[in-house]
Structure formats: structure tokens, C-alpha cells
Amino acid sequence: MFNSILAQADTTVALETVSQATALIGPKAGAAIGAGIVAIGAGLGIGKLAASAMEGIARQPEAGDNIKGAMIVAAALIEGVSLFGVVVCLLAAL
């Protein structure tokens, strides 16, 4: 019970902080920062994915085709989520 009250209080404080920051820098700048964070996150995710796939192929070359296929599917999913995030950020600026 007490933990849920603390979690709710932390959420309220976080929302107030975000609203104060948005009021300070403006919604368009906030949306631009959000879109930038999404793009950075997607780049890091795809980079980690590719590095892990290359390491897996180097360790087990006979499984290279399966690893490449799984990597392409995962990269497409990451791209889709990041595109959705950027669009949401840009729509928030309107």
C-alpha cells in the first residue's frame, strides 16, 4: 500500500517536472528533443543488434543466414517503433 502511494507521488512529481520544463522551453522544442532522443535510441539499438549479429556469425558461420534473417526482422521492428515515436513527437509540436 505504502509503495503504491510513493509510486503515485513520484509519478505526480515527474509529471509536474515535465510540464514545468515544457512551459520553460516550449512544446516545439520539447517535441524536437523527444524526436532526437528517439533517433538516438534507435541508432544505439540497431548498432547493438548488428554488433551482436556479426559476433554470432563470426562464432558460428553456418548459422549466418538464420542470424541475418532474424537481424533484418528485428531491425525493421526497431525502425518501425522509432518512426512511430518521431511522428508522435512531431504531432505533439503542432
Q: Is residue 15 assigned to a domain? A: no
Number of domains in the chain: 1
The proportion of the chain whose per-residue pLDDT surpasses 70, expressed as a percent, equals: 78
Instruction: Give the CATH number for residue 34.
Output: 1.20.20.10
Q: Is residue 89 assigned to a domain? A: yes
Give the pLDDT mean for 32-57: 91
Domain containing 43 equals: 26-93
Average model confidence (pLDDT) for the chain? Answer: 82
Q: Is residue 2 assigned to a domain? A: no
Q: Is residue 3 assigned to a domain? A: no
Q: Is residue 54 assigned to a domain? A: yes
Q: How far apart are CA 75 and CA 66, in angstroms?
A: 14
- Residue 6: predicted pLDDT: 45
4-35 pLDDT, tens digit per residue, is: 544 455 566 656 776 676 667 777 787 888 88
Q: Is residue 53 assigned to a domain? A: yes
- Residue 18: predicted pLDDT: 65
Q: Is residue 7 assigned to a domain? A: no
